[in-house]
Chains A and B, each alone.
Chain A
Amino acid sequence: MTLPAARPLRRESRVGKGRVRRPERLGERVALLGPGLGYSLLFLAVPLGLVAVYAFLTAKRFGRVGGPVTLANVQRLTEPLYRDVAFTSLKLAAIATVIALLIGYPAAYALSRLPRRWRTVGIMLVVIPFWTNFLIRTYAWIVLLNDQGLINKLLGSLGIIDSPVQLMNHEPAIVLGFVYAYLPLMILPLYASIERLDPSLVEAAGNLGATPWQRFVTVILPMTAQGAVTGSLFVMIPSLGNFVIPELLGGGLTATLGTVARDQYLTDQNWPFGSAIALMILVVIVGIMVFQSLLTRRFGDRS
């Protein structure tokens, strides 16, 4: 392929086309990107960088951090105790993600089928609980799930149970907490993905003889996979590092990566080991996101 003829650096020859000259273009770029980039750098890159660096330093007395550079913190993570904790966290986050998917997909699908007028209402109903403070929503669940809570009282007054059923202070309650907290984050990307679906494709599949189930599995599902994966990420990532819900709804009886990291930072003043745990969570999340982008490349072109 032949290269186009070299152009002059200044675009004065294109005067009539409203092209801006390069120096001003740079200033424009800085002004537009500056705040966002500065924010990301200051509040994202620097803290994450600190965590990554601290994970390889040594804890001194009184929360101080210094040399020598060491792998001891990362090695400590491979001990059986912390492997168990990591497994528990992954398990709870994964179960919460699957349940959120099973609930979120039909919900998003129903949303997309609503008449246009009601769709906004539907989305608002999904989003409004999210505007309430996270802690308050979690405490609300305590009011519901407690031994003296509303659900037990209701079941008792209906005569279904004799004595209160243990509805919280165990792992299922933690999963419930995760699902409830992050369900809107599952529904919205799914809804966006389902809404973009071209109904004529589904119709075409039907015309070619596909049953509703086949239409769902071979057309709808693959084309909304992207939304499903995004939604899953939005549920899995916050669940992995969460320490509030295991404490409030789990009764402090379950150790997760989040609670252990918090204990390292706040109780033991061991910032390097806490950072190692945080780094591990980061690595897991990045791994999941790489997996997601691979999936996108695999299924992306079908849209």
Chain B
Amino acid sequence: MIRSRTIRIAGVAFVAALAVAACGGDDADEGAALDPDADLSQQTLTISNWDAYTPENLIPSFTEEFGTEVELALHATNEEIVGKLLQSKGEGYDVAFVSGQFAQQLQEAGLLAELDPDLIPNLSNLYPEALEMKHDVGLKFSVPYAWGTTGICYRNDLVPAPPTSWNDILQPAPENVGKITMLATDRWLLLPAQKSLGFSVNTTDDEELAQVAELLTSAKEGLLAYDDTTFFSRLVSGEANLVVAWDGWCNYGISENPDIEFVVPDEGSDLWTDTMVVLKSSENLEAAHAFINWVLSPENHRSVAELVLYKVPNKAAMDGLDPALIEQFPNLGLTPAELLASEQLLDVGGDTSKYTEIVTEVVSS
């Protein structure tokens, strides 16, 4: 009979749902002491990073040095890897590359291992400022990998005048209308409007957010697209004149077309940090620490700056950077002091949903 069959199916589904939802049980062992003499060739690492964000030789050289097999998984956005880690309680990964505000989230969720500085002596290579980043003061659960700011990347041969303000994106000159892209992910979609209106990039005030939403909605008409991944190629092809971009990404455009330039608008911008975190559930903690230490060596971290074209918070590495590279890619020369003048991106906690709702509101307008 239909009714009893439906009830049976609903019953199975409900029990299954309860089972999955209740699957919170096993916490990893609390702080097992790390063995500095552990045999790393017996350990393996699963690392998740953005595509093309690790220099080609970084991981193979690590495997060669320590004998640890490494598997590199890719994620496209912070939200993607954070989602996976939250759902699997960190299982399946040893090291993850996430932006600072997301490392905060993972730490609050109790998924990150407390780092043992004794196993990461290369921490001394970092700029002192990098040790005091607000998302993780004293670097207890994250180690910065790259940092930078967000600004406007533009074709100086296509724009009527070089942009100086976020309003060049939000209320564009007629020549630029329809040739502008903005970043699509929550925090960076809101950033230009937040700064243009003089608000904090970490604001959770409803009044302020309402104004931000309004400004973004009116700005949408002038946009070509919301684009997180192909905006520099749109600049190179001339489809776009101005794009909101992370400074490192802009360098990819600059390397293909020297008419492309990067500017941080007058109203200011953010300081974002991409960090390496170790999952508490990892069974290869020593290898994970060794990997982080490996990355922080001057040569390796410098190769990140040279090949990935992002700034690294490693004084020893940046001091040895080829001046010609800085000349070609000026934003590589931004000093820590200049970067720290920008506002650091922090986790907004439970108010993340406010940001998501604004994005939905703006995109559906």
What is the chain B residue whose CB lies nearest that of A76?
B357
**With A48-B13, A49-B13 in contact, do A62 and B105 touch (Cβ < 8 Å)?**
yes
What is the chain A residue whose CB lies nearest that of B24?
A64
In the complex, what residues of B have CB within 8 A of residue A52's CB?
Answer: 10, 13
A270 to B359, alpha carbons, bound, how many Å? 15
The answer to whether A266 touches B80, judged by C-beta atoms less than 8 angstroms apart, is yes
In the complex, what residues of A have CB within 8 A of residue B363's CB?
Answer: 252-255, 259
Q: Which of B12, B83, B108, B364 contacts A255 (CB 8 A)?
A: B364
In the complex, what residues of B have CB within 8 A of residue A166's CB?
Answer: 178
The answer to whether B16 touches A46, judged by C-beta atoms less than 8 angstroms apart, is yes
Give the shortest distance, in Å, between A303 (CB) and chain B (any CB): 27
Scoring A49, A54, A81, A260 by chain B CB atoms within 10 A of each residue's CB, the highest score goes to A49
Contact with A along B337-365 (1 / 0, CB 8 A): 00000000000001011001101110110
Contact with A along B16-32 (1 / 0, CB 8 A): 11001100100000000
In the complex, what residues of B have CB within 8 A of residue A265's CB?
Answer: 83
B186 in contact (CB, < 8 A)? yes
Q: Using a Cβ cutoff of 8 Å, how many contacts connect chains A and B?
A: 108
The answer to whether B237 touches A148, judged by C-beta atoms less than 8 angstroms apart, is yes
The answer to whether A251 touches B17, judged by C-beta atoms less than 8 angstroms apart, is no
In the complex, what residues of B have CB within 8 A of residue A41's CB?
Answer: 12
B156 in contact (CB, < 8 A)? no
A260 to B356, alpha carbons, bound, how many Å? 9
| Residues 1-60 of B at the A interface (beta carbon under 8 Å) | 9-10, 12-14, 16-17, 20-21, 24
The main secondary structure of chain A at its interface with chain B is helix
A41 to B12, alpha carbons, bound, how many Å? 10
A45 in contact (CB, < 8 A)? yes
Interface residues on B, range: 35 or more
B333 in contact (CB, < 8 A)? no
In the complex, what residues of B have CB within 8 A of residue A264's CB?
Answer: 356
The answer to whether A253 touches B225, judged by C-beta atoms less than 8 angstroms apart, is yes
In the complex, what residues of A have CB within 8 A of residue B9's CB?
Answer: 45, 49
Give the shortest distance, in Å, between A204 (CB) and chain B (any CB): 41
A236 in contact (CB, < 8 A)? no
A30 to B87, alpha carbons, bound, how many Å? 35
A255 to B184, alpha carbons, bound, how many Å? 12
Pairs A–B under 8 Å by Cβ, sample size 26: A48-B13, A49-B13, A49-B16, A52-B13, A54-B17, A61-B109, A62-B86, A62-B109, A64-B21, A65-B21, A66-B21, A81-B364, A85-B364, A148-B238, A148-B239, A251-B224, A251-B225, A252-B227, A253-B220, A260-B360, A263-B359, A266-B83, A267-B185, A267-B352, A268-B353, A269-B352
